Structure 1
Amino acid sequence: MKNHRMYIVLITLVATLGGLLFGYDTAVISGAEASLQTYFTDSLGLSPLIHGITVSSALIGCIIGGIISGYLSSTLGRKYSLVVAAVLFLVSALGSAYPEFLFFTKGEPSIALLIVFNIYRVIGGIGVGLASAVSPMYIGEIAPSRIRGTLVSLNQFAIIFGMLVVYFVNFGIARGQSIEWINDIGWRYMFASEAIPALLFLVLLFTVPETPRYLISKNQDQKAMAVLSRLYDQAVAKATMLEIKKSFHDVNKAKLFAYGKAIIVIGILLSVFQQFVGINVALYYAPRIFESMGAGRDASMFQTIVMGLVNVVFTLIAIFTVDKFGRKPLLIIGSIGMTIGMFGVAGMAFSNVIGIGTLIFIIIYTASFMMSWGPVVWVLISEIFPNKIRGQAVAIAVAAQWAANYFISSTYPAMMEFSGGLTYSFYGIMSLLSAIFIWKFIPETKGRSLEELEDILTNKKGA
């Protein structure tokens, strides 16, 4: 039994490297965005909207990656979809660091170079979109039901840990350096550093198996049984094999809406609320938010690290409680905390008071998100969709998530120019609505197999 559990943990850790790179790629921009504004936007006389689009350009790729994740995970499989993501991360890291490669002269920014830089960021975003859909799907299909919430939550921990790592990396690169050096060279090192975990992820993926549920969907029963035998005791492996095969037996339920439209809508709304509460504004623009409080550049990056540490601690709380207390209570408690935090920040902004109080409210907000909506939404998305449509349905939910993320992140600079108080109030309202949505529409899913959940959710929410 211990050998089975150790094997499950090891392959889960490999899959969570996709989450780590997800976090690393999305947060690396936080240390570089001010330099990118100087290097590209200001030197070329472009508007703040163009800067917002550049900072958020990876999210366009995330949407694409989310959309194609269903096709790739259903054709290449879960494992080789992650291999594709690893290659994209590697290409993006090196290309974003040196977009002048082959066609441009270093140190001579232009509109064409800015476009090429954004293309490399979009390539990385496609990798993020793929990993964000397929990593939790892979873990969810491998994990035993009793610890599935914990193991899928490890992917969110990896995302936050990846963000924390890159905060340290960015801080280490920028510390003690002149602004001129950072604006010319430093930001390149920040993007290039991602190549190291990307290469590690690519190599380790060749040591893990394909998921048994995917193998059974392709009528590779012997390979599936071989994987199940490494995951469970023999008797449990055989019973799990029969349960999975039964869920694929109804050939009339292969179409996306065969189980009803409501389950798809719920998945989309989970994803949209996760972004409309404004979390990625806090993550992408953290150093700039702290600079607006009067902190210097080094101090603002240090405060970003503090926020990253808080995020890690509260994500660990979710990991250790999601299979004990359940998904629904954590989400509602988190929504209440986010509402308090965001309305607190909004109140400070309306009062034109910027200081330690703002930092406290931001930490309340991010801590509440990290113990709830951060990890638990990914757990639910890996659980709620039936086996036969999981690839397609997860792709739609994840694409909707990244579309919402792009909308929120790219509009933030323009919204802040209009009114900081109203901007943060909007995120507070979304946090409150997210609590009502969970209370009214989401059933508890802890402790049940994916096949049991298929029966419960489709009977409860089917058309």
Structure 2
Amino acid sequence: MKKIVTWSVIASLAGFLFGFDTVVISGADKKLQVLWNSSDAFHGTVVMGMALWGTVFGAIFGGIPTNKIGRKKTLLWIGILFFFSAIGSALSNNPYVFAAFRFIGGLGVGASTIAAPAYISEIAPAKDRGKLVAFYQFNIVFGILMAFLSNYLLRNTGENSWRWMMGVQAFPSFIYTLFIFSIPKSPRWLLSKSRNEEARKVLALMGQESEYEEMKKEIELDNNNAALANDNIFLKKYRTPLILAFLIAFFNQLSGINAFLYYSPRIFQEAGLGESTALLSSIGIGATNLVFTLVGVFLIDRLGRKVLMYIGSVGYIISLSLVAMAFFLKWQGIAVPTFLFLFIASHAIGQGAVIWVFISEIFPNHLRASGQAFGSTTHWILAAIIPSLIPFLFSTIGPGVVFLFFAVMMVFQLLFVAFLMPETKGISLEELSKKLIKE
């Protein structure tokens, strides 16, 4: 079990790079808009938003290498993409080159949301799967915290401070890439490619060699059925997992989480805080996110996925409603930061802890990467559109209306959890497939 935990942690470090890459741009946000004299629309969609469109392409096509060359090799290439994105972004001299390198990093983010949860879910025992896959989410929020902290520490390094902010990610990217060489290939992926002896050796390393025959039998049956039916996730029998993956990803972004993480210093300044105070408050947001993600990781295999989603949904509705009121009624001081701290805690213990675990569980083995890609693509298309619109929306309809809209959407999420979402805690991947697929 110790080896499985170690390999899960290493694979989940892709989440650290995901979190760092997503949020590090927030420190350079206003500096880059002033430097390149960009309009709100151009700045939001090109300078800030291009990485998010990279995640869309990474999510759409990330299932291909994850299936073809395997989970491990895909994770290796993800580290390489992040490394070159960091170096290129830091050395860019115009918004178009900057956007191109940010797009490359986005490819890594999108692909990581497929390969890392798929890998961990396939090596983890059923009773610990939620906790181990949630390491990925923990590393996302750890990366977010480190990005906020890094931005704060580098804020006074001169007029090119943004270059240091963007370039520092090259160091963890290089270290992560080296670590990936030490993990084995997924035994389920090896069996799906009929590389049976390699799979047996990996299972022996995991102390699970006794499960080899049963796992081989289930995966061969899965593959045979797939070959006969020319299987894909859009067939009628997979409608239930497809709808579940779409809705959990849809509501994740309609909470406004990525819009908030991308623009937290700007949002705090809209609420009346100074630039340094806004950056410092962002560190507090990152720390809150980390602490409550740890709570979510601890509870996900104890209370289950649905209970955490209930807690998160109620917390979202309360906190987002309060943020909207604070902007409408012009409450100053610590009101908005306090309510946003509650918002980030609600996200961390609910959607944050659950989404990547849940999507990695609900599709059958031969379609796991494709299903993960579908859920990730839904997530990232919305994550590209919504933050790209924030500068424009804030300057036209105002932040109060934006946060009220997010609060209303979370009421619909609560209904989704209550009436559609199944509990997946403690059930093997093969059993879940039988339960959710309607032949």
Normalising by structure 2, we get a TM-score of 0.96
**303, 308, 318: which one aligns with 2:286:** 308
CA shift for structure 1 position 419: 2.2
Please state if 1:449 is matched with 2:428: yes
CA shift for structure 1 position 292: 2.5
Alpha carbons 2:131, 2:298 under 8 Å: kept: yes
Aligned to 1:344: 322
CA shift for structure 1 position 249: 3.5
1:335-386 deviation per Cα after TM superposition (whole angstroms, max 9, x unaligned)? 1100110010001111122321211111111100000101201100110011
Please state if 1:224 is matched with 2:199: yes
Secondary structure, aligned partner of 1:353:
coil
Aligned to 2:188: 213
Please state if 1:99 is matched with 2:84: no
Alpha carbons 2:80, 2:177 under 8 Å: kept: yes
Alpha carbons 2:117, 2:356 under 8 Å: kept: yes
CA shift for structure 1 position 263: 2.0
Please state if 1:136 is matched with 2:117: yes
Change (3 A) 1:392 1:234: closer
Percent identity over the alignment is 36
Alpha carbons 1:274, 1:373 under 8 Å: kept: yes
Please state if 1:333 is matched with 2:311: yes
**389, 401, 405: which one aligns with 2:383:** 405
Please state if 1:16 is matched with 2:12: yes
Count of residues in Structure 1 that have an aligned counterpart in Structure 2: 434
Alpha carbons 2:133, 2:357 under 8 Å: kept: yes
Comparing 382-391 with 228-237, which one deviates more in the overlay?
228-237
- Superposed, 1:117-156 pairs within 5 Å as 117-156=98-137
Change (3 A) 1:121 1:266: same
CA shift for structure 1 position 256: 2.5
Please state if 1:52 is matched with 2:52: no
Please state if 1:157 is matched with 2:138: yes
Aligned letter for 1:31?
Answer: G
**335, 338, 352: which one aligns with 1:374:** 352
Comparing 10-19 with 235-244, which one deviates more in the overlay?
235-244
Runs (4+) of structure 1 exceeding 4 A deviation are none
Q: Tell me how far apart the structure 2 counterparts of residues 36 and 261 of structure 1 sit (CA, whole Å).
A: 44
Aligned to 2:228: 252
Aligned letter for 1:116?
Answer: V
1:130-188 deviation per Cα after TM superposition (whole angstroms, max 9, x unaligned)? 112211111111111000000011100000000111111111111xx27xx2xx31000
Q: Tell me how far apart the structure 2 counterparts of residues 386 and 66 of structure 1 sit (CA, whole Å).
A: 18
Q: Tell me how far apart the structure 2 counterparts of residues 288 and 87 of structure 1 sit (CA, whole Å).
A: 31
Unaligned runs of 5+ in 2: none
Please state if 1:201 is matched with 2:176: yes
1:181-207 deviation per Cα after TM superposition (whole angstroms, max 9, x unaligned)? 2xx310000111000111011111111
CA shift for structure 1 position 229: 1.5
Please state if 1:439 is matched with 2:439: no
Please state if 1:234 is matched with 2:209: yes
Please state if 1:384 is matched with 2:337: no
Q: Tell me how far apart the structure 1 counterparts of residues 219 and 40 of structure 2 sit (CA, whole Å).
A: 52
CA shift for structure 1 position 307: 1.0
CA shift for structure 1 position 25: 0.3
Aligned letter for 1:227?
Answer: V
Aligned letter for 1:428?
Answer: A
CA shift for structure 1 position 237: 4.2
Change (3 A) 1:333 1:380: same
CA shift for structure 1 position 70: 1.2
1:392-427 deviation per Cα after TM superposition (whole angstroms, max 9, x unaligned)? 121111111100111111111111122221110111
Aligned letter for 2:409?
Answer: M
CA shift for structure 1 position 260: 2.8
1:92-137 deviation per Cα after TM superposition (whole angstroms, max 9, x unaligned)? 000000014xxxxxxxxxxxx2111100000100011011221111
Aligned letter for 1:65?
Answer: G
Aligned letter for 2:404?
Answer: S
Aligned to 2:30: 34
Comparing 439-448 with 46-55, which one deviates more in the overlay?
46-55
Please state if 1:115 is matched with 2:116: no
Alpha carbons 1:228, 1:241 under 8 Å: kept: no
CA shift for structure 1 position 265: 2.4
Q: Tell me how far apart the structure 2 counterparts of residues 23 and 405 of structure 1 sit (CA, whole Å).
A: 13
Q: Tell me how far apart the structure 2 counterparts of residues 448 and 423 of structure 1 sit (CA, whole Å).
A: 39
